[in-house]
């Protein structure tokens, strides 16, 4: 049994969730699902990239609005005790105590056990139990080293920040199920950003997220107006109001997933508008770096890229600037 104050599970469960202001509804659903399945006191915190300095090189812009915020967690926790990190695009089906109370046994970070199915998907660091007393991370120094000692993917794996044995895959299988739901699933992670249920109506397990949202509305934890506000801001799809039975003019029973998708498109809804804009900026920065480093090779690769894009998208090629870069 652990006795060190730095790793004790006493006190509230401290959970830090990567969530930008555009993902607040997803965060609320995750929080509700966590609290619904545990009797332990839970202390929730949202984090985003404002907790870390921006990359000095646009080639290493964050993939999400909260990618770099996770490295500030030990500091935010006062470099004491333990904490859990999660992404906001998740829902929980089991008691969080199952991973909160696990002993570190020499680890500084614990992630889900690697299986044949998840091997190659990295260390699944979207769910981490962290020993904040043992992680002396300086987020300013970490960001200074980005592009020098490691690239973006390396940093997100957290390997460059740890020694051998610091990260161990010991959390029970199912605590980071990637777009799958089975009898082992303890936490469902909606990883494919174009099909997350709050922005797309056709995810095969989207109904689980919708059901959780309905429970929140029925219990009064979430109001109808709060959902409408998120739709008005463009953070979630308009068809969500139909699925939740909040559109008196459009009964949900008359809308298939394809019909809901058509409704969203007609309403002008753009999936993760800011995120995709940031991703395009990152892509263009990489191309510019490539052009300056190797002009001749860049020109040849650009010709090949343009031809490939034209063959694949002959109509869109002339209207989509991204295909002609």
Domain closes at, from 167, 189, 211: 189
Domain closes at, from 139, 161, 189: 189
User: Same structural domain for residues 295 and 170?
Assistant: no
User: Same structural domain for residues 226 and 172?
Assistant: no
Give CA–CA dist 107/134, Å, rounded: 9
User: Same structural domain for residues 37 and 151?
Assistant: yes
User: Same structural domain for residues 255 and 315?
Assistant: no
304 occurs within a structural domain: yes
- Give the pLDDT score at 4: 43
User: Same structural domain for residues 203 and 75?
Assistant: no
Which residues are within 8 A (CB) of 299 and not within 5 positions of it... i.e. 6 or more apart? none
The domain total for the chain is 3
Give CA–CA dist 79/74, Å, rounded: 5
User: Same structural domain for residues 287 and 310?
Assistant: yes
User: Same structural domain for residues 158 and 101?
Assistant: yes
Give CA–CA dist 318/204, Å, rounded: 34
Angle between helices 206-219 and 224-232 (to 10 degrees): 130
Model pTM score = 0.85
8 occurs within a structural domain: no
- Give the pLDDT score at 201: 96
User: Same structural domain for residues 289 and 236?
Assistant: no
Domain closes at, from 189, 217, 250: 189
CATH number at residue 53: 3.90.550.10
pLDDT tens digits along 91-109: 999 999 999 999 999 999 9
47 occurs within a structural domain: yes
User: Same structural domain for residues 293 and 170?
Assistant: no
Residue 286 lies in domain: 275-324
Task: Give, rounded to a whole angstrom, the gap between the first and last alpha carbons of the chain.
Answer: 58
- Give the pLDDT score at 60: 84
316 occurs within a structural domain: yes
3 occurs within a structural domain: no
* DSSP H helix total and E strand total for the chain: 11, 9
User: Same structural domain for residues 27 and 124?
Assistant: yes
List helix spans (H) across 257-322. 257-266, 273-293, 295-312
89 occurs within a structural domain: yes
171 occurs within a structural domain: yes
User: Same structural domain for residues 177 and 200?
Assistant: no
User: Same structural domain for residues 210 and 227?
Assistant: yes
154 occurs within a structural domain: yes
pLDDT tens digits along 193-220: 899 999 999 999 999 999 999 999 999 9
**Closest residue by Cα to residue 143 from 64, 15, 279, 51:** 51
The low-confidence residues of the chain, meaning pLDDT below 50, are: 1-6
């Amino acid at each position: 049994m652990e006795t060190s104050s730095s790793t004790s599970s006493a006190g509230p469960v401290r959970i830090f969730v990567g969530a930008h202001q555009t993902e607040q509804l997803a965060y609320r659903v995750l929080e509700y699902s966590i609290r619904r399945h545990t009797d332990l006191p839970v202390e929730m915190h949202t984090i985003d990239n404002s907790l870390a300095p921006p990359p000095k090189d646009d080639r290493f812009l964050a993939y999400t609005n909260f990618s770099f915020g996770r490295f500030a967690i030990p500091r935010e926790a006062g470099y004491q005790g333990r904490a859990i990190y999660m992404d906001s695009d998740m829902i929980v089906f089991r008691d969080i105590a199952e991973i909160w109370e696990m002993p570190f046994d020499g680890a500084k970070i614990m992630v889900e056990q690697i299986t044949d199915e998840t091997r190659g998907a990295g260390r699944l660091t979207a769910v981490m139990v962290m020993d904040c007393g043992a992680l002396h991370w300086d987020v300013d120094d970490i960001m200074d080293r980005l592009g020098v000692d490691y690239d973006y993917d390396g940093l997100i794996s957290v390997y460059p920040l740890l020694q051998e044995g610091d990260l161990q895959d010991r959390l029970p299988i199912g605590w980071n199920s990637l777009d799958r739901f089975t009898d082992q699933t303890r936490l469902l992670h909606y990883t494919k950003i174009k099909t997350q249920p709050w922005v797309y109506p056709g995810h095969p397990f989207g109904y689980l997220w919708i059901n959780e949202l309905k429970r929140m509305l029925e219990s009064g934890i979430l109001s109808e107006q709060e959902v409408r506000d998120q739709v008005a801001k463009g953070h979630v799809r308009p068809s969500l109001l139909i699925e939740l039975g909040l559109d008196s003019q459009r009964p949900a029973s008359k809308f298939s997933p394809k019909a809901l998708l058509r409704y969203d498109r007609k309403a002008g809804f753009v999936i993760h508008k800011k995120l995709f804009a940031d991703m395009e900026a990152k892509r263009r920065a990489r191309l510019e770096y490539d052009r300056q480093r190797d002009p001749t090779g860049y020109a040849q690769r650009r010709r090949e890229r343009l031809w490939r894009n034209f063959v694949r998208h002959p109509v869109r090629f002339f209207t989509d600037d991204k295909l002609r870069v």
